[in-house]
Structure 1
Amino acid sequence: MIRKILLVSAVALWAGSAIAAEPIEGNWKTEAGDTARIAPCPEGFCITLVNGKYANKQIGHMKGNGGLYNGQITDPKDDKTYEGSAAVSGGQLKLQGCVLKVFCKSQVWTRL
């Protein structure tokens, strides 16, 4: 498991340095089908749900550029916050939230 995480991290870092900066800003369709808006804020970029059951709830913030971002992600269902990362690649945003950098869950969102 740890080997897989290290490999994915290394590939993400390599890919991020090889491509032009891809902005995280904009509207994204979540795996649940809701729309999330990512916009500049004092913490870097804030993630806010636009519609659905948790509309207008801020669920995270990220800092970074070049397609790679780090910060915190909150699961709106249980209101728990996790260390997170995000990688933009074309029209997709891969989000990952982890506990102790070992137990991680990922989602892929699509740019609207």
Structure 2
Amino acid sequence: MKRLIALAAAALAAAPLLAAEPVEGRWINAEKTAVIQIGACGASTCGRIAQFLVPPPQGDDQRDVHNSDQTKRARKLLGMAILTGFADKGDEWGGTIYDPKSGKTYRSVIRRKGANQLEVKGCIRPFCKTQVWTRAR
């Protein structure tokens, strides 16, 4: 019985080691055009466009003109969630990523690569494109 309790205690102590590194914070996308604020959104984690570093054609009033859903084309990009539904999957976070340039949503995986880098993957079936975002200061 003591051995079983010791094994259970060891398993509980090791559980935090299996959690993905936190991804919250402000991140500059790979193109260096925007700052994405990642944080809690209800029960999941999401990332919103917090600031444009390179102003789009309509400035801060830029709308989601490339969205394949015509009913969403009038929404502003600034403040819009482009990372949605992210949950801790052990050594990474899984959710979806929206690309305002193409108007498409992709399955996504993100993971920390050190204190100041975030690896962001967008995938269609087995094919993925990876970017590295840097922490905004």
Q: TM-score, normalised by structure 1?
A: 0.73
Aligned AA for 1:72?
T
In structure 2, do the counterparts of structure 1 residues 51 and 99 end up closer, same or farther at CA, with 3 Å as the change threshold? same
Percent same amino acid at aligned positions? Answer: 35
Aligned AA for 1:89?
K
In structure 2, do the counterparts of structure 1 residues 21 and 69 end up closer, same or farther at CA, with 3 Å as the change threshold? closer
Query: Could you say which residue in structure 2 is the equivalent of 1:22?
Result: 21
**Contact 1:24/1:67 (8 A) holds in 2:** no
SS at match of 1:51: strand
Residue by residue over 1:6-64, the C-alpha shift from the partner in whole angstroms, topping out at 9 and shown as x without a partner, is xxxxxxxxxxx978852100000111211000010125111101122332121012111
Aligned AA for 2:102?
D
SS at match of 1:50: strand
SS at match of 2:26: strand
Of the three residues 79, 93, 106, the one matched with 1:82 is 106
List alignment gaps of at least 5 residues for structure 2: 1-15, 57-76
Number of residue pairs matched by the alignment? 95
Is 2:57 the partner of 1:57?
no
In structure 2, do the counterparts of structure 1 residues 43 and 73 end up closer, same or farther at CA, with 3 Å as the change threshold? farther
Q: TM-score, normalised by structure 2?
A: 0.61
Whole-angstrom distance in 1 between the partners of 2:121 and 2:83: 12
List alignment gaps of at least 5 residues for structure 1: 1-16
The runs of 4+ residues in structure 1 deviating greater than 6 Å are 17-20
